[in-house]
Amino acid sequence: MTMLSNVEIREAIEAGQIGITPFLPENIQPASIDLTLGGGFIPHYDRRSTGYHEIRTAVDPLRPSDENITIRTRAAILSDHCYILRGCHGYTLGCTAERVTLGPDIAAQVGGKSSLARMGIEVHLTAGFIDPGFDGAITLEVVNNGPDDILLTVGMPIAQLVFYRLGKPANPPYQGRYQGATGTEESKYHIGRGA
């Protein structure tokens, strides 16, 4: 397996071996492509918490660090476009805005953005591998390991995807239970084998 460079990523997109929809050429990095946050948050609340019935101050990664925002809210989901990810291990499922399509000889690995990691944000727990043949939005398991609440906004850069070319195409390629995902997918572990 070989990791693809930016030149090889562009060539694979042009050849139809990788599909990213919507695709912005400026999102290609030296050996990855940036993905943005889609909507459809599925929160997992801390059962010990009293909830979000309070005034909260959140860090907005899209603003300078000295411009925290204060929000009065009764829920973590502010709208279809914003979500407050609680500090100290707040957790939610989200997804990429982009639909990713991989050919049978291309695999991928989703990882976080370094600037968000410096705030304590992880975008996947252990499920970062994308099988050859996958087609759909990528569900993200977003965790806030930092102390501050973080404002997640639809459209913000949230992850990066690294691609690998296999020695031979997978046969058969991915046909699992998350194929064709159009948004955030909860666990389907109970359905049967296959990721």
Active site positions, annotated: 141
The amino acid occupying position 179 is: Q
Hey, how many other C-beta atoms are within 10 angstroms of the C-beta on 130?
23
- Classify 88 in phi/psi space as left (phi over 0), alpha (psi -120 to 50) or beta: left
- Name the nearest CA neighbour of 38 among 91, 92, 88, 76: 92
Q: Measuring CA to CA, how many Å separate 51 from each of 76, 80, 84?
A: 8, 19, 12
Instruction: Please check whether residue 59 is in contact with residue 68, taking contact to mean a CB–CB distance below 8 angstroms.
Output: yes
